[in-house]
Amino acid sequence: MPSQAEERDVWTDEDGHEVVRLRPWKGEWDADDPHANFKSDVVGYGLLQPLETVRGMSRNLDIPESAIVRYVLARWASGGSGGLLEVGPVMVPRLWEPIAAAEGADSDEERLRAYHQLRQMISWLKIPLDDPTVYPPHKD
């Protein structure tokens, strides 16, 4: 009879810690699958040996390998929320408006117009990143 670890990729050990088996995946999906790009990435990155990097970081930083893996997973998994916090809950809907309008019109001309509008909005947001002197420090 297979052990619990052999049956699943995630289980809880005797100390109550979750254990994850790292296995590459070679899946198949339909050409029109809306998640095809992500699935392709999962297959492609599955060809790498991430623990080589983790082991080096562990040695160089004196941090346990498991803590680094947990950090990487948590950081990646929460990246969308972090991005929202950085862009802001007001700006995300403003950036989405031209996209929604273009998709509603279902026109390549409107999609191109939306692209140019988004490009202008993002270039405006990038100004202080490209040139920090635009907003000089406040002097009391």
| Domain ranges, ordered by start, for the chain | 1-46, 88-134
Token look-up 């998994």 returns 77
Average the pLDDT over 118-136 and give the result: 89
What is the pTM for the complete model shown? 0.60
Residue 1 has a pLDDT of: 47
Percent of the chain with pLDDT over 70: 94
Q: Where are the beta strands (DSSP E) in the chain?
A: 10-12, 18-20
Categorize the per-residue pLDDT at 89 as very low, low, confident or very high, splitting at 50, 70 and 90.
confident
Looking at residue 23, its amino acid is R
Average the pLDDT over 26-40 and give the result: 94
pLDDT in tens, 63-84: 999 999 999 999 888 888 888 8
